[in-house]
Amino acid sequence: MAKTINRLRVVIVGAGFGGLAAAKRLAGHNVDVTLIDRRNHHVFQPLLYQVATAALSPADIAGPIRAILSNARNVRVVLDEVSAVEPACRIVHLTSGRVIHYDALILATGARHSYFGNDKWAANAPGLKTIEDALAIRRKVLLALEQAETEEDPERRQALLTFVVIGAGPTGVEMAGAIAELARRSVSRDFRSITPHCSRVLLVEAGDRVLPSFPPKLSAAAASSLRKLGVELRFGDPVSDVGAGYVAVGHELILAQTVVWAAGVQASPAADWLHVERDRNGRIIVGADLRVPRRGEVFAIGDTASLAGPDRRALPAVAPVAKQQGKYVADLILGRRVRLFAYHDYGNLATIGRNSAVIDWGRLQLSGFIAWLIWSCAHIWFLIGFRSRLTVSLGWLWNYLTYQRSARLITGEIPALPQPGHAQPIERKCA
């Protein structure tokens, strides 16, 4: 009788860029992989802001995890959430009450919004990490425009048409530019009392420039593009309060119905599960081989891990880092590598509305239309694995030619809108 060979049991927590990269790398090998995620889909997060601003539909940038891994017969997908980890017993506890044993554990749990100790702001300033976040922001933006169409009180109407984005990193810059295009260009053709100059979009940054992780030259180019779109830039004044219908910036109170948070992120509670050292953002401080100290069979990758790069600063929380780390850990588990992890930086990209983007490739720095074309092609290329490459390409072409946003749908129950005092269309009230 043939001797049974025990296969290595690998558990991956999180089906983001890092977790999915690790699962794909382990597919087809002599290991049993269990991939755990609380959602059944993987989201291409760099384009979430386009769902939030009605340029794309959720299905355009997301795909079922099971479908993505359908050919990986040794990978099992579990829809559940981790509640605790017992490293001594090599057990993962799930909220459903089940337990899963592992020989190697990969923590790719991502990050959540950080309000710097002011979690109460979340109710009025949602962040953008999930499809649910994007749909909630889209609903808020579109409802504000609908209500403004028939609102006769000037102050109330201006608050409805004021949009504030907090944080001028790539997400904040892209959100502000997209909202400006939506509110000032796309919808003004379809509404009768909203003109391009009715809406006000503010981008608030506590620092002294947009895109602080980019070279100053590209930050200046991005700021110029935002101003051309009509976005007001506020530097140097931190947000002191966010409430229902207002934002306090420095000593100024800004009345705004729609506020979007893009100012900070915090790691998942994975460090609490293991009782290990973390950085100020809650990320697990890992060794150069991405192992968790004193937990040799546990790895942390992506937004869950804190690893210093050549400049002694922690590697950025971006998709390329997570994907490279996922592949590296999978190869380590398979016994393919012994050298330490080294991140290959292929540059930073950010877009600012139509026709403008910035690209940092080290010595080569680009901005403007050519950079926007490269940004568009790169994002379509990395949508590989989804049926939506063609869909997104055609959608972007349609949006570019017509300024129309095809995903401008408000779902769920719609609150009662203010009624105008007469049956005739309201005359346009902005120049």
Residues recognised as catalytic: 174
Amino acid making up residue 215: P
Longest CA–CA separation in the chain, Å: 89
Angstrom distances, CA of residue 84 to CA of 97, 103, 270, 298 = 11, 16, 9, 14
**Distances from the Cα of 13 to the Cαs of 31, 32, 36, 140, 387, in angstroms?**
16, 14, 5, 32, 25
Q: Is 333 helix (H, G, I), strand (E, B) or coil?
A: helix
6, two tokens: 């025990």
In Å, how far are 86, 195, 268, 314 from 275, measured between CA atoms? 10, 55, 13, 20
- 138: number of Cβ within 10 Å: 24
The residues with which 75 forms a beta bridge, in sequence order, are: 33
Beta bridge partners of 269: none
Q: Which residue has the tokens 């900070």?
A: 264
* Exposed/middle/buried for residue 364 (C-beta within 10 Å: 0-12, 13-18, 19+): exposed
Coil/strand/helix, residue 104: strand
Question: Both tokens of residue 47?
Answer: 């384009």
Q: Are strands 295-300 and 291-292 parallel, antiparallel or unpaired?
A: antiparallel
Query: How is residue 257 written in tokens?
Result: 């119905």
Find tokens 């049993």 and name the residue: 32
Structure tokens at 25: 């790398």
- Rounded Cα–Cα distance for residues 94 and 403 (Å): 46
DSSP 193-261: S--TTT-EEEEEESSSSSSTTS-HHHHHHHHHHHHHTTEEEEES--EEEEETTEEEETTEEEE-SEEEE
CA 413 to chain CA mean position, Å: 26
